[in-house]
Amino acid sequence: PLNVFYEKSDHFSYFLPLSKDALAQMNELFLQFSLTIYNQTDKRWSCRARLHLNAILELLYQIYMNYLNQNIAIYDMNNPHVWVSLLLEQIHNHYKKNISLDSLSKFIHINKTTVAKHFKEIVGCSVTQYIINYRIQCACYSLSTTALRIGEIAKESGFSSEAYFIKQFRGKIGLTPMEYRKNIVDKRKQEFHSD
């Protein structure tokens, strides 16, 4: 997600135009980040701060990628590429909340069947699968950079329960979240000792 800070591009002037929604999400993440640092409620406060920082960087990266990929008029809602990019932005901004094909189709005022069809054609997977994959991606960041409990990471990544998170994670990654974290830690230890 750090690409946004160091990549040079003829099309990118080192500032990102944030939508009202993205700005609200960014403000919320910075608020959570600062409250976590200020309150330091338990020994895992730094992990929570890192979790919020990861979410900020991921949101910036997604906004950056959407910005670079804008090669069509943003208001042409007859073009599926336009509204699919709006749906992706909505998913990236609200993955922690209860979002679904139904809520996303209502957001852009296009029926579910049409949304499902064009989303899969353009993105390569269903809306539901994309949401799950994105949540797992965010959970992987948290597992590899914090010592937070699995249940807390599941909740922060938008999963309704720890058991559902573990099932989806194992199905996608092939490991449980704890096994994934242990592999990352073991790999870092090996790299550290080999240096």
Q: What's the confidence (pLDDT) of residue 119?
A: 93
Q: What's the confidence (pLDDT) of residue 2?
A: 60
Q: What's the confidence (pLDDT) of residue 72?
A: 47
Q: What is the pLDDT of residues 70-99, one digit of tens each?
A: 654 455 677 888 888 889 988 988 898 999
Query: DSSP state, 10?
Result: T
**Integer angstrom CA distances of residue 21 from 18, 90, 137, 165:** 8, 8, 21, 26
SS3 12: strand
Whose CA is closest to 164, among 136, 125, 134, 141? 136
Q: What's the confidence (pLDDT) of residue 145?
A: 86
* All residues at 6 or more sequence positions from 62 whose CB lies less than 8 Å from its CB, including other chains: 88, 89, 92
Proportion of the chain above pLDDT 70, given as a percent: 87
Q: What's the confidence (pLDDT) of residue 4?
A: 59
Least confident of 17-21, 33-37, 85-89: 17-21
Tell me: pLDDT of 189 over 80: no
Average pLDDT over residues 165-187: 92
Angle of the 162-173 helix axis to the 127-145 helix axis, nearest 10: 100
Least confident of 4-18, 80-94, 96-110, 124-138: 4-18
- pTM across the whole model: 0.72
Residue showing tokens 């670079």: 68
Residue 35 burial by Cβ neighbours in a 10 Å radius (0-12, 13-18, 19+):
middle
